[in-house]
Structure 1
Amino acid sequence: MSATAVEGPDFVALQVRDVPAAAAFFEERLGLRRAPASPPGAVVFATSPIAFAVREPLPGVDLTGDARPGLGVALWLRTPDAGAVRERLLAADTPDVGPLQDSPFGPMFSFTGPEGYRLTVYGG
């Protein structure tokens, strides 16, 4: 058995039904920029320190009907100013934007993103 250990998350991708709409949401409402290249069926963003993408569902993943993608997954997005991002989402009529709260990581809030994913933004 190898003594090599996993170092931690290096890439995060949300599986979505509508890749162009999800990509537009992250670009227009959260200000992410697309990476120079993306594989077919996905949009990769130039995020740091961990790469982030939206992609078509993998074989065997069923997102039809009332399936809520990401149930049980907590995805936190870092920003220098959570309050400003929250105001931008409210101005864009983003559904279900929660109140700004204190957390061990600084100000934070949660909201419902593309296709029902629950996302948290923190920092400031």
Structure 2
Amino acid sequence: MSVSIDGPTFVALQVRDVEAAAEFCEKRLGLRRTPASPPGAVVFDTKPCPLAVREPLPGTDLDSGRPGLGVALWFSTPDAQALHDQLTEADVKILAPITDSPFGPMFSFVGPEGYVLTAHGARP
């Protein structure tokens, strides 16, 4: 019998400054912290799986280049244009303008510590 995985149940970004990354997630993305987080991490109440920012795991070198290179991390939002405008107003660097995609309107921006994040809205 073959065993398979169901999909992600938890996503964590490894960062140098956990509190600054958590503040970005709260203030710029509107995420809410969970009541309890493990030491060295801040977990957010995101669906369908929790997102966290955490201290780097042993052996992780965040100084070797752009963090998350090769990983595509997408978030859904009820209004991609409104989020885009909100981030632009807060001087968050937008990397790709809003374009149509199979998932709805989407754009990419620079998140905590240089991670490239993509947000997409619902298809009209």
Which TM-score tier does this pair reach, normalised by the shorter chain? over 0.9
2-structure distance, mates of 1:96, 1:83:
12
**1:48 CA drift (Å):** 0.6
2-structure distance, mates of 1:123, 1:112:
18
5+ residue gaps in structure 2?
none
Q: Which residue of 2 aligns with 1:95?
A: 93
The answer on whether the counterparts of 2:42 and 2:53 sit within 8 Å (CA) in structure 1 is yes
Q: Which residue of 1 aligns with 2:55?
A: 56
2-structure distance, mates of 1:98, 1:113:
13
User: Given the alignment, which residue of 117, 120, 123 partners 1:122?
Assistant: 120
**1:8 CA drift (Å):** 1.0
Could you list the runs of 4 or more consecutive aligned residues of structure 1 that deviate by over 6 angstroms after TM superposition?
none
- 2:66 partner amino acid: R
**1:106 CA drift (Å):** 0.3
User: Given the alignment, which residue of 79, 82, 85 partners 1:84?
Assistant: 82
1-structure distance, mates of 2:121, 2:94:
19
3-state SS of the aligned residue for 1:53?
Answer: strand
1-structure distance, mates of 2:7, 2:119:
20
Paired residues in the alignment total 122
2-structure distance, mates of 1:58, 1:97:
28
1-structure distance, mates of 2:68, 2:113:
10
3-state SS of the aligned residue for 1:29?
Answer: helix
5+ residue gaps in structure 1?
none
TM (normalized to structure 1)? 0.93
The percentage of counterpart residues that share the same residue type is 66
Q: Which residue of 2 aligns with 1:32?
A: 31
Q: Which residue of 2 aligns with 1:47?
A: 46
The answer on whether the counterparts of 2:88 and 2:94 sit within 8 Å (CA) in structure 1 is no
| Alignment RMSD | 1.2
2-structure distance, mates of 1:75, 1:104:
16
